[in-house]
Amino acid sequence: MTSNLDEERSTASGLLQSLARFSGSLLGIVHTRLELLRTELQEEVQQTASIVLWAFLAAFAGLMALFLGALAVIFVFWDSHRILAAVAMVIVFVAIAVGAALVLRHKIRTKPPMLDATLAELAKDRDQLRARL
């Protein structure tokens, strides 16, 4: 009788230890993936801030150059064809705006998904856990 009771206690103890090890492993996996997620989010924020800053600077400088260039063209033709020169400059700016909008749309559509590496690692973890069970 005591042998049977000892055997049940041993089995229950082994099951609890196995469950504790599994929980520890699962918690370690979740912790590692959350660290990866945090790192990816920090990199994404830094990259986005840098891109926005440089895009603003480039846009400002480009717009100033285009504005002054348009003024120069209009001033050159001031006496003879100032209206035609102004309309031509408007057409050039509209063409540039349409081209920029098309490039922006392409960039947005082809942007890689955010947190791609984290999702790939979580998928690997899921597959490994399913294989063990």
Q: What is the residue range of 33's domain?
A: 2-132
Domain count along the chain: 1
pLDDT tens digits along 61-74:
888 888 898 889 88
93 exposed, middle or buried (CB, 10 Å; 0-12, 13-18, 19+)?
Answer: middle
Residues 6+ apart with CB under 8 A from 29: 125
Q: Extract the residue ranges of the chain whose pLDDT is less than 70.
A: 1-9, 12, 115, 133
Put simply, whether the predicted model's pTM sits higher than 0.85 gets the answer: no
